[in-house]
Amino acid sequence: MSGKEKTAKTGKSAPVKFKVAAVQMVSSTRVDDNLYYAQAQIAEAAKAGASLILLPEYFALMGRRDTDKVAVREQAGTGPIQAFLSAMAKEHGVWLIGGTLPLAAVPDDKVRNTTLVFNPDGEQVARYDKIHLFRFATEKERYDEASTIEPGAELGCFDALGTRIGLSVCYDLRFPELYRAMGPVGMIVVPAAFTYTTGRAHWEVLLRARAIENQCYVLACGQGGDHDNGRKTYGHSMWIDPWGQVLSCLPEGEGVLLGEFDAERLNKVRSQLPALEHRVL
């Protein structure tokens, strides 16, 4: 069995280190403006040495209406947003995880809220369609993603840089069984657009819990501020280690968060406290 096969089957990482980055955004209602900003920040992250870069949920568009994303949806494998992600990954020679973008769904009036992963050659190597759809209502706020989004049904994982990486999106964070179903992974990514209300209450504690219980790194990338559609998102993109420590955080606004994946640290946590081996159910 090769070292790569061991990584894929056991979730144990090779003794490697690499830099990661999260591009926190405050996306607008204009796709071109959002891509222009993302382009500059991807370049900055790559220049800083990041080998893997994560964009937030809805990075290409935060529409004025929920139906705006339906108007810019793309067919799988073609379209300007997908072409942009492929080109950026290839130009900078990085693994690029494209937050989420709207891909065509079976109902004509809905989309899949999709994460796509591109390798350093610009090839799409993984896809995950958000499974859990957010619904939240108070006297002041109301959200119902199911009105315009068709849920996915399959897990998303891929192998890169000597470790296995699990894909999830925003509201998925509240469902620990999703991460258990992935099997042991070295890293979980969470592109998100958490509301300020729910983020302030639950974002950090949920992220740290997922890191602790799965004994893996968590790279979370949020939308982070006041959007021109009137929505306020929480931001606080984070890099969290397998012990649940927040190693870096970008509270609000636009910018790049950097971190370092250290497989030796991951393996040490798992050997000192072999909780994953102690699972019964």
Active-site residues, by number, are: 57, 130, 170
Tokens 């964009």, residue located: 55
Cα separation, 139 vs 276, whole angstroms: 42
Q: Which of 153, 125, 238, 223 is nearest to 187 (CA)?
A: 238
Phi, psi of 247, rounded to the nearest 5 degrees: -85, -30
From first CA to last CA, the distance across the chain in angstroms is 28
Token pair in block for residue 98: 């494209």
Cα separation, 86 vs 78, whole angstroms: 11
Token pair in block for residue 152: 């996915």
Q: Where do the DSSP E strands lie in the chain? A: 17-24, 50-54, 95-97, 101-104, 111-118, 124-129, 135-137, 142-144, 157-160, 163-167, 187-192, 217-222, 237-240, 246-250, 255-262
Bridge partners for 158 per DSSP: 165
Cα separation, 226 vs 272, whole angstroms: 43
